[in-house]
Amino acid sequence: MRTINYLRVSTERQGRSGLGLEAQRASIEAFCATRQCEPLATYTEIESGKRDDRPELIKALHHAKVTGATLVIAKLDRLSRNAAFLMTLKDAGVRFICADMPDANNLTIGIMALIAQQEREATSTRTKEALQAAKARGTKLGNPNGAAALRRASKGNTAALTTITGNADAHALDLAPVIADVRSTGITSLSGIATALNARTIRTPRGGKWHATSVKNLLARIA
């Protein structure tokens, strides 16, 4: 099984210190060793799980999508604590596995997603209550959840969901920059492009190998 590995921590301090990242890396590596996986790449993100507009996650999803690889994470909450986002991801054709529960089925993932969101909402409620108590004591508070931040988060969430959904046309658009890169090396024939895509372990929308005909169809969709 070819994999794209994704790690995430919530703060820059954790990212600099390696706290959390090394544990995730060890968990994923242990899983991959057990399943004799072929890791293609590892993406590391420093971003809150409350936000779904995460560039490294989008890159990891794109890489997994165009190569037909499986996204591997240490724990479900490393992806998101938003149940709608997780369920959309589950149904969008991007396969992912949690290293701490690799045999979980779709029902289990759905339940875990709902539990993760419940935990997120409970944490948010406790934070608001603590802020209200601090305000009542006369403590001056900032505005960490302002309208601009909410608009950015909403826009990013839409971009993330758009990236992981779609049909063959969307798959073709995902491959457009790859095709451009192949052509920049001087490879322009259909058979040459097919060979280059196969060498990069990129699969067709149906998971097969590329041939001149399938490359011709791909280019027609991109045009």
Q: For the chain, give every domain's residue range.
A: 2-110, 168-222
pLDDT of residue 46: 83
Task: Count Cβ atoms below 10 Å from residue 19 Cβ, excluding itself.
Answer: 12
Give percent of the chain above pLDDT 70.
60
pLDDT digits (tens, 9 = 90+) for 89-140: 666 667 888 888 887 655 666 676 677 667 666 666 766 776 777 677 776 5
Residues 6+ apart with CB under 8 A from 47: 8, 10, 54, 56
pLDDT bracket for residue 144 (50, 70, 90): very low
pLDDT of residue 49: 56
Q: Hey, is 81 helix, strand or coil?
A: coil
Can you give the length of the chain in residues? 223
Encoded amino acid at 203, one letter: R
Find the catalytic residue in 10, 27, 48, 154.
Answer: 10
pLDDT digits (tens, 9 = 90+) for 43-68: 998 876 556 567 888 888 889 888 98
Q: How far apart are CA 72 and CA 26, in angstroms?
A: 12
Residue 145 has pLDDT above 50, yes or no: no
Q: Which of 89, 94, 45 is nearest to 65 (CA)?
A: 94
Phi, psi torsion values for 97, nearest 5 degrees = -130, 140
Encoded amino acid at 78, one letter: R
pLDDT digits (tens, 9 = 90+) for 170-196: 777 778 888 888 888 899 999 999 999
- Average pLDDT estimate for 5-15: 72
Token pair of 75, please? 């724990």
Lowest mean pLDDT across 79-83, 140-144, 189-193: 140-144
Clarify whether 10 is annotated catalytic.
Answer: yes
**What is the Cα gyration radius of the chain?**
20
Token pair of 82, please? 């938003």
CB 81 within 8 A of CB 50: yes
Q: How far apart are CA 106 and CA 22, in angstroms?
A: 28
pLDDT of residue 165: 45
Q: What does pTM read for this prediction?
A: 0.53
pLDDT bracket for residue 141 (50, 70, 90): low
Domain 2-110: state its class. alpha beta
